[in-house]
Every structure is written in structure tokens, then in C-alpha cells.
Amino acid sequence: MNRHDDDIRIMEKVKQIVKDKLPGFASRYFNDNRDKKVPRTLYGYALDLTSFFEYLESVCKPISEMTLDDLNCVTSQTIEDYIPFQRKMIRLLRTP
């Protein structure tokens, strides 16, 4: 598989993640950066944001109901509380 085909495959994954796992407003970011960032970077961002929004869903409301205004409630404490959540998720993913 050549680099171009690989990039297309990765961008399809990004589109699917954005569609299925992120709030609707997130698609604008990915659309705006499609030609500015390499596909692997966007894929990494999509995975990171998925984890963060899953955390927000556990403390806030369903991802499908989140709006951009809901991010106004994110504080430094929210981020600090998210870090152990993310570490736990990483450990779970690495466990066979």
C-alpha cells in the first residue's frame, strides 16, 4: 500500500470517529484542518478528543446532546480530573 492509499484509509477512519463518537460541532475542526494537518495527526486528535468527550459524558451529559456552549463549563479542575481517567483508559487498552 502506498502512502496516498494509507492517507485515504486513515482519513476514512477519522471521518467515522468524528461522525460516530464526537459532538456535531467537532466536525468543523476536522474539516477546517483536513488540508493543514497530516492524516495521522488528525487521527491522533480524533482519538484524544474521543477519550476526552467520553470523560465529559460521564460527568456532564450525553455526547450527542453536547453543544459548543457546554465547553464553557470545562475548567482546569475538569482537565485535572480527566488525566487519571485517561490513564485508566490507557491501562485498560493495554491489558490483554
Q: How many residues does the chain have?
A: 96
Tell whether the torsion through CA atoms of 45, 16, 70 and 55 is positive or negative.
negative
In sign, the C-alpha dihedral spanning 43, 49, 55, 60 is: negative
Residue 26: its pLDDT value, please?
A: 95
Domain range for 15 is 3-94
- Our measurement of the distance from residue 54's CA atom to the centroid of its chain's CA atoms, rounded to an integer in Å, reads 9
Query: What is the tally of structural domains in the chain?
Result: 1
Look-up of cell digits 468524528: 18
Give the model's pLDDT for residue 39.
96
Which pLDDT tens digits describe the chain residue by residue (96 residues)?
688 899 999 999 999 999 999 999 999 999 999 999 999 999 999 999 999 999 999 888 899 999 999 999 899 999 999 999 888 877 777 765
pTM: 0.85
